Chain A
Amino acid sequence: MRRRIVGSVVAIACAAWLPGGASRPSQAGGAASAARPATIGEAYTYAPGAFTPEYQVPEPGSYSLPVIQRIHDHPLIDAIRGETTLFSLKAGRMAVVAFVYMSCAEATGCPFSLSVLHRLDAVLAADPSLGSRVTLLTISFDPGRDTPRRMADLRRLHDPKSDWSFTTPSGEAALTPLLADFDQSAAKLRYPDGRWSGLFRHVLKVFLLDERNEVRNVYSVGFLHPELVLADLRTLTLAANR
């Protein structure tokens, strides 16, 4: 089966941004829903204009996904389960891990990755044979503001149908080694006088982990698409079954 992707990334991002932002907790304030400056990070991470993926997803199993790096266990606070760890949530399954912060409104940033996981959630819930082997993990890199309570709010918005965890580190001490392990950059964007703008400079990355906690792919705009992630999950499943 070869599926042709003809969809607008902007449209996808918009789909996630609108419902998420409309019900966003009050702490985020009106600014979270305003036109965030495109000067910061991701609007300039990519070529001008919106990416509109126009390609056929490769057939699952027709290609290989080599190991990129190995991830270690890290403490997390889950919106539902409380204190836990990455590996406990993963429970030996494949995982799609996305780092976000809730105040992000970059069209091609965190809202976009949340929208992709939202779609993956629906597909995995409808496909128990694959869904039982995969977990989705959203991790905030803004633990100061994205408290477990706020992550629970975010969870309620997405109302996951598969196993999708919304987590945050306990603080900066837990966050720093976590980001370093994943090689996920996220830096506070500041005014020249040193005040934090409330925003982060970060490169959008979503990680595909196999059952052995090895990174098998890293997605960003252009390749972060549900059909492609599903093809990769099925490719890993086929390889594991051989």
Chain B
Amino acid sequence: MRRRISLRSRLAALVVLSSLSTAAVADETCLSPYTPKIIGPEDYVYVWTLGIEGLGDGSDKLVTIGANPTKENYGKVISSVSVGGRHEAHHADFNDDRRFFWAGGLDDSMIYLFDIGSDPAKPKLTKTITSFVKDSGGVVGPHTFYALPGRLLITGLSNDKDHGGKTGIVEYNNAGEYIRTLWMPEKAAYGYDLRIQPRLNRMLTSSFTGWNNYMRDFGEMLADPEAMKHFGNTMVVWDAHAREPIQILEVPGAPLEVRWALQPTHNYAFTSTALTSKIWLIERKDDGTFAAEAVGDIGDPKKTPLPVDISLSVDDRFLFVDTFLDGMVRVYDVSNPRRPKLVHEQKIGSQLNMVSETWGGEHVYFTSSLLSKWDKKGDENEQFLKAYGWNGKKLSPLFSVDFVKEKLGRAHLIRFGQDQFYKNQVAQSEPTTSGRVAALAR
């Protein structure tokens, strides 16, 4: 009898644990499931920034901005770590324990490892990988950094033979040592983003374009019909564990960011296509294969607003879609993933690229830069980080940092940090912690 009671109490405790796991916490929703999520509000926003010649030191840099409204540094630049030179800073992400931040340069394929864990207010550059192209056997343009236990998967955008779109996925261990290269399949040779749904053992990759295009002036490229032929039109479904491609999906128009649904019974992902301005649903069918379906337009596709980044809320309800050329964010209710419903739209700036929402969804951050040679010119070349509050209906401005005025550069990728997490402190914001933890400590 005594044992039965004990078992019941433990089962009840397990239910409590499960329910607590959906409590509001702060983090972007697109992180690898293997990267720990931080608890409570974010203290810092990290922005991987492209240098601009003649502005400040002109170098690519990791910029840290205060995001805790109770502190004096709220909305201000706290620190900036330059890597020396311009390398087309683009995407970046944390490793599997969130203590290191890997950041890539699309032009010369440099990779920088920053120590975030030692002092989250002042990241330090601790290692530079200069041999990505040589290590990988010719992959160029490290884009997505995706943490797996003990290692990172890094997607490429190009190759060193013709600087076209044929590319691969490269694995490094957490120490920055090369493991292996997986070339994209012949019939879907282009690459861009990579995301895994462990529950299904499925990995999705998308496709963009090669160095010849992403390092070319945007206007010139648009006017070159031959160049416009060299964009990706496919996504690949992989066996994630075996790293074997198992299905190629036709998704015309350069499918970019991939976002798996987060709820445990949702077997689908979203992407957006840059050139055709559509939301695509990638869904598992009853037979286990996947189907890709265009489920909605983004703005007026005839005007080519150029959808870039997307962000899916933790409850799989809201899909934020940024469009670069009109500087708009559109929020879709995707409760029915086959019928996205536009519920809000707002102009954020003259140009707009990345969007990152906190895990709880209360805060949404935006940056402005797409690529150094694709960003707008003159007065329209605004460079910013803008923070907004989101109440489920509208976005309300919180703060803005002008990256030109601050002599920083082109603001690109956004990630979050927190003192409590990196100091390994118990989250005081959670009401259930203190008593039980204190009991254990005695």
Contact = CB atoms under 8 A, between A and B. Distances in A.
Interface of A: 10, 13-14, 17-18, 21-22, 28-58, 62-63, 66-69, 103, 105-107, 183, 185, 187-192, 195-199, 201, 203, 205, 207, 215, 218-223, 228
User: Which 5 A-B pairs rank lowest in CB-CB distance, beginning with the nearest?
Assistant: A222-B198, A49-B264, A38-B20, A218-B150, A35-B13
B424 A35 contact: no
Contact of A183 (B175, B180, B201, B436): B175
A44 B25 contact: yes
Interface string B319-362: 00000000000000000000000000000000000000000000
Nearest to B6: A22
Interface of B: 3, 6-7, 9-14, 16-18, 20-23, 25, 33-39, 96-97, 99, 148-151, 171, 173-175, 177, 179-180, 198-202, 239-244, 262-264, 314, 423-430, 432-433, 436-442
Given A69-B177, A192-B425, A198 B10 contact: no
B6 A33 contact: yes
B440 A68 contact: no
A39 B241 CA distance: 29
Contact of B34 (A45, A62, A192): A45
B200 A103 contact: no
B17 A67 contact: no
A54 B200 contact: yes
User: Which residue, A14, A185, A190, has most C-beta atoms of chain B within 10 A?
Assistant: A185
Contact of B33 (A47, A190, A198): A47
Nearest to B40: A39
B274 to A, nearest CB: 26
A37 B20 contact: yes
Contacts of B39: 39, 44
B34 A220 contact: yes
Contacts of A69: 150, 173, 175, 177
A103 to B, nearest CB: 6
Given A49-B264, A69-B177, A203 B97 contact: yes
B436 A185 contact: no
A68 B151 contact: yes
Contacts of A34: 13, 436, 439
Nearest to A228: B241
Contacts of A50: 18, 264
Given A63-B243, A203-B36, A222-B199, A107 B437 contact: no
Contacts of B263: 48-49
B149 A203 contact: yes
B424 A188 contact: yes
A205 B18 contact: no
A55 B10 contact: no
A68 B21 contact: no
B418 to A, nearest CB: 12
B13 A41 contact: no
A113 to B, nearest CB: 12
A168 B440 CA distance: 20
A195 B441 contact: yes
Given A47-B262, A190-B424, A191-B426, A198 B17 contact: no
A57 to B, nearest CB: 8
A183 B150 contact: yes
A48 B243 CA distance: 25
Contacts of B99: 185
Given A40-B426, A54-B200, A190-B425, A29 B442 contact: yes
A48 B440 contact: no
Nearest to A220: B149
Given A35-B17, A38-B17, A183-B175, A218 B199 contact: no
Contacts of B436: 31, 34-37
Nearest to A205: B149
Given A67-B179, A196-B441, A203-B96, A35 B22 contact: no
Contacts of A58: 239, 241-242, 244
Contacts of A198: 437, 440-442
A13 B439 CA distance: 23
Nearest to A45: B36
Contacts of A191: 425-426
23 contacts: A28-B440, A36-B13, A36-B437, A37-B436, A38-B17, A39-B427, A40-B427, A45-B34, A45-B36, A55-B200, A68-B179, A69-B150, A69-B175, A106-B17, A107-B18, A183-B175, A188-B424, A195-B441, A198-B437, A203-B96, A203-B97, A220-B34, A220-B149
A219 B429 CA distance: 31
Given A31-B440, A107-B14, A66 B427 contact: no
Nearest to B37: A44
B20 A43 contact: yes
Contacts of A57: 241
B21 A48 contact: yes
Given A53-B201, A185-B99, 18 more contacts: A14-B11, A31-B439, A34-B13, A37-B426, A38-B20, A40-B433, A43-B17, A46-B33, A48-B264, A48-B314, A51-B198, A55-B201, A66-B171, A67-B179, A185-B97, A203-B97, A205-B149, A220-B34
Nearest to A30: B439
Contacts of A18: 7, 10-11
A124 to B, nearest CB: 20
A34 B432 CA distance: 11
A22 B177 contact: no
A47 B14 CA distance: 17
B12 to A, nearest CB: 7
A50 B18 CA distance: 8
A103 B201 contact: no
B227 to A, nearest CB: 36
A148 to B, nearest CB: 21
B262 A48 contact: yes
User: Which residue, B9, B17, B149, has most C-beta atoms of chain A within 10 A?
Assistant: B149
Nearest to B437: A197
